[in-house]
Chain A
Amino acid sequence: MSIFVDETTKVVYQGLTGSQGRYYGGLNRDYGTQVVAGTNPRKVGTDVDGVPVFATVGDAVEATGATASCIFIPAPGVHDAVIEAAEGGVEFIVAITEGVPAHDEARFYNRLKRDFPGVQMLGPNCPGIISPGRCNIGITAGHIALPGGPVGIVSRSGTLTYQALYELKEKGIGCTTCVGIGGDPVPGTSFIDCLEAFEADPDTKAVMMIGEIGGTAEEEAAVFIRDHMTKPVSAYVAGVTAPPGKKMGHAGAIVSGGKGTADAKMEALREAGVRVGLNPTEAGELMAEIVATL
């Protein structure tokens, strides 16, 4: 089993005809993902390497039964693309695009919550989601993940997600699903959404969580873990050395007014019973210890 996506997930790529969409859509298909459609109102009726292109997500859903959408649209068009996907009838929306205005994110996040409670949004500014061996939506290199289980991964950082997958693979540990929730201030999917899904997934026996400075998402996750998780969790929080008031690459990675420091987040996680590593390698080793005792 896996969370959110598996081999039955049919994906429509918004922006499939662009260079990024074509490249990663192709890689996702090669991995085994059911890439069933693309959209581009100006290229209706054409195809990209055999994948049919439709005018809208609604048309694509009607013709192919797509259940998920992956957005490779430039940032100014993401707000529109998200609402189009939800109106079009998909249940899961992955927005890879970086640089989406925060006010746009707040607007579509709240619109989805109110009008489309059944739709799960992931991103924007995220690497996507991979259920190794079953489905890969986004820009994660499929070969760095070992299929199976028992570990589920959720991370705010793309490269650290890869690092985590890779280190687990090196140790021979598989992954049920790896979710990159992205580093923006208003992420569609939160740590808690993923922790809740992993807790409910019978094949996931332990969860590795990678956070970073800024906001309070890790602290909120710690409360959830303490109150609701029976499965063991290991974690790493990046940015112990980050200076206050500076944005560290990601729009949401900033320590402001003394809030959102890595130390405070790690402490909150430790108090919730999470095994916290001081670097990603150590978090991987802690996870290996956890897996050995399962």
Chain B
Amino acid sequence: MDIHEYQAKSLLAEYGVPIPVGGLAYSPEQATYRATEIGGSSWVVKAQVHTGGRGKVGGIRMCSSEQEVWSAADDLFGTRLVTDQTGERGRGVFRLYIEQTVDIDREIYLGFVLDRSTERIMLVASAAGGMEIEQIIDEEPDSLIRVVIEPAVGLQAFQAREVAFALGLDRGVVAEASNLLLAAYLAFRDLDATMVEINPLVVTGDGRMLALDAKMAFDDNALFKHQKVSELRDKSQEDPREMRANDRGLSYVGLDGDIGCIINGAGLAMATMDMIKHSGGEPANFLDIGGGASPERVAKAFNLVRSDESVSAILVNIFAGINRCDWVAEGVVKAMHELDIQVPVIVRLSGTNVEEGRRILTESDVSLITAETLAEAAEKAVAAVNREDAA
């Protein structure tokens, strides 16, 4: 789960990471009020959206009067920011964060992730802050400092100091920097974050350290431990179809194609999408209905997939290991009856009780296209879509 910058900063601040003074606004009036509250003569107005790269598309505005703050806010509210990470739909701007400006002397990159290769926690830092991490890896690879942290031991103070020295920080701020690193690490560990990124972490002109931007992402599997974090979820930042599916226990990802997919198992779902592409078609979605493909789940899945208007054929691919094909077949027939599906439906069943399952499909009065193999199913789905297009 992703959260907003202001939420990440607030969580990090609770652990002792220093952040600039700021306030949240839901309207241009509130934005100017926040600016007055914060004081000073210049402010930054930042769109709160779940994506990186917002600065490049006008999501961060520098303002030197309250009138400018009002205009920037008025301009941003209700728009959608499309960055290279969001896809075409972009993310809606419904909250703004107003911050005091900061006199920046140096910009540093700091991140914590669970590293899959070492199966440990990795701290990544670079003196080339302010750029995206991918860009740092490409352009300034020698600036990268990596520290592997044994999760049962945790980040040690000496490791934090080593990072501070390796970043070439002045002696005066080394203690402050290592405290900040330890605080950010504790937030990462205690809250079951999958990622903490402070970029840039700045040294100010008067020698203080501040987290100027912050991103945190959390492990969905651990949200049961952290009620406070799960309450930070912002559904306005999620794809509505994915949200509906995920809230119903189905794993769904919307895509741009026209062949709807209903499949059991994440791997088989990806393999089926690959097969559709290989046969010249485009999948409309990834959908894993899980191991226990009960008739109710099959019906839910049909409902979800047909709610996508671009779907002009539906491919059902079930491999029954523990499941039984006859049972799944009954579910498909039932769903077809109850939901009045108007597009061609291609069904491929394999595994336990497959003969019985196929018999149920062929003897039913619903119109279905059956297939025996994954390849055949994909080809028939692509052919069905092409027929629909021609008609």
Are A140 and B321 in contact, with the CB atoms below 8 A?
yes
- CB closest residue in chain B, given A23: B322
* Min CB gap B366→A, angstroms: 25
On whether A157 and B151 interact (CB within 8 A), knowing A241-B283, A279-B271, the answer reads: no
Residues of B278-297 whose CB lies within 8 A of A: 278, 283, 286, 288, 291
Contacts of A141 in B (CB 8 A): 320-322, 351-352
* Min CB gap A182→B, angstroms: 11
Are A158 and B269 in contact, with the CB atoms below 8 A?
no
- CB closest residue in chain B, given A257: B134
Are B374 and A101 in contact, with the CB atoms below 8 A?
no
Q: Is A249 an interface residue (CB 8 A)?
A: yes
Interface digits, A239-276 against B, CB 8 Å rule (1 contact, 0 not)? 11111011111111100011000100000000000000
Are A143 and B352 in contact, with the CB atoms below 8 A?
yes
- CB closest residue in chain B, given A162: B321
In angstroms, Cα B120 to Cα A111, docked, is 11
- CB closest residue in chain A, given B266: A249
* Min CB gap B336→A, angstroms: 23
In angstroms, Cα B24 to Cα A47, docked, is 59
Q: Is B375 an interface residue (CB 8 A)?
A: yes
Q: Is A64 an interface residue (CB 8 A)?
A: no
Contacts of A100 in B (CB 8 A): 221
Residues of A209-230 whose CB lies within 8 A of B: 210, 212-213, 215-217, 220
Are A278 and B274 in contact, with the CB atoms below 8 A?
yes
On whether A107 and B151 interact (CB within 8 A), knowing A166-B319, A239-B274, the answer reads: yes
Are A241 and B119 in contact, with the CB atoms below 8 A?
no
Interface digits, B251-288 against A, CB 8 Å rule (1 contact, 0 not)? 10101000000011111111101111110000100101
- Interface residue range, chain A: 35 or more
- Give the number of A-B contacts (CB < 8 Å): 175
- CB closest residue in chain A, given B190: A103
In angstroms, Cα B322 to Cα A144, docked, is 10
The 5 closest A-B pairs by CB, nearest first: A157-B267, A159-B265, A249-B266, A101-B222, A160-B267
A101, A166, A220: which contacts B225 (Cβ < 8 A)?
Answer: A101
B85, B119, B267: which contacts A159 (Cβ < 8 A)?
Answer: B267
Are A110 and B151 in contact, with the CB atoms below 8 A?
yes
What 12 additional pairs, Cβ within 8 angstroms, besides A106-B151, A163-B374, A183-B267?
A75-B224, A99-B221, A100-B221, A114-B152, A127-B321, A166-B319, A166-B350, A241-B273, A241-B283, A248-B269, A249-B266, A251-B219
Are A156 and B267 in contact, with the CB atoms below 8 A?
yes
Q: Is A76 an interface residue (CB 8 A)?
A: yes
Are A106 and B119 in contact, with the CB atoms below 8 A?
yes
Contacts of A257 in B (CB 8 A): 133-134
Are B116 and A110 in contact, with the CB atoms below 8 A?
no
Are A241 and B277 in contact, with the CB atoms below 8 A?
yes
On whether A279 and B350 interact (CB within 8 A), knowing A139-B321, A243-B253, the answer reads: no
- CB closest residue in chain B, given A251: B221
In angstroms, Cα B375 to Cα A278, docked, is 11
Contacts of A220 in B (CB 8 A): 117
- CB closest residue in chain B, given A165: B321
Interface digits, B160-197 against A, CB 8 Å rule (1 contact, 0 not)? 00000000000000000000000000000100101000
Q: Is A57 an interface residue (CB 8 A)?
A: no
In angstroms, Cα B150 to Cα A76, docked, is 21
B116, B152, B277, B319: which contacts A163 (Cβ < 8 A)?
Answer: B319
Contacts of B267 in A (CB 8 A): 155-161, 183, 210, 212, 238, 249-250
Interface digits, B16-55 against A, CB 8 Å rule (1 contact, 0 not)? 0000000000000000000000000000000000000000
Q: Is B114 an interface residue (CB 8 A)?
A: yes
